[in-house]
Amino acid sequence: MPAHPLIAAFYKSDIWRSFREMIILTRGTRCEHCGMLISEASNITLHHKEPLTPDNVHDATISLNPDNVLVVHGHPCHDEIEQRFGHEGQHKVFLVYGAPLSGKTTYVLKYKGRNDLVVDINNIFRSITHSEYKPQCLLTNAIAIQNTLIDNISTRNGKWQNAFIVGGYPDRYKRDLIKQQTGALPVLIDTPRDVCIARIEQTGRNKAEYTRYIEDWFERYVS
């Protein structure tokens, strides 16, 4: 329950009530956390990914932004989300790993707030090549940027809220290293091999090449 009176008042306002109603009408009542229908209307909760504070509650791009809310079960799903990602003044770090096309980016986009730091080698490659190609000759540079950001996370350098380190990380050794370095909580995106392979076509990627990446991850994966 929101403790601050400004936030409590916001949740009682007409503008919030009609926003909430509109979101539920357009999105339906399937929980965006567990995927089940929310059978009791009183258990429908809208979770703000970027949490409301007395400073941002009147900023509609946060408090009334459809992209910033998830429709979830109040219990137990919202409790779970708040426990995992809730802020309470602390910075949480997540190591989101799994096979190619397992849904790592979808997971991060679903839960991250706008002040969260995301370290993803694919995005680093995009920013240094301005393309979807990942030339091996630029790998050293991409890794240098990745290491700088992971180092920022280790030393809690910067004003980010939570941090997400995203990658395949099939080797337990590398995951343990990052956990030790940053205190990251591991989040395995546990999608079966055939589901990952079936997704290749939807993404328009090269089937043979991506099948090989996926097979390779499952061969190397050590739990």
Binding site for Zn ion (CB under 5 A): 31, 33-34, 47, 73, 77
Q: Which is nearer to Zn ion, 1 or 208 (CB)?
A: 1
CB of 147 to Zn ion, least distance (A): 33
CB of 45 to Zn ion, least distance (A): 7
Q: Using CB atoms, what's the residue nearest to Zn ion?
A: 31
CB of 82 to Zn ion, least distance (A): 5
What is the rounded distance in angstroms from the CA atom of residue 71 to the CA atom of residue 46?
5
What is the rounded distance in angstroms from the CA atom of residue 199 to the CA atom of residue 195?
6
What is the rounded distance in angstroms from the CA atom of residue 180 to the CA atom of residue 88?
23
Q: Which is nearer to Zn ion, 13 or 206 (CB)?
A: 13
DSSP state of 22: H
Q: Which is nearer to Zn ion, 77 or 187 (CB)?
A: 77
Q: Which is nearer to Zn ion, 47 or 175 (CB)?
A: 47
CB of 99 to Zn ion, least distance (A): 25
Expressed in percent and rounded to 5, the helix, strand and coil fractions of the chain are: 50, 15, 35
**In 28-120, which ranges are continuous DSSP H helix?**
60-63, 79-85, 104-111
- What are 192-198's contacts with CB under 8 Å, separation 24+? 193/99, 193/218, 196/99, 196/100, 196/101, 196/102, 197/101
Closest CA to 49 of 67, 28, 29, 73: 67
Q: Which is nearer to Zn ion, 2 or 211 (CB)?
A: 2
CB of 79 to Zn ion, least distance (A): 9
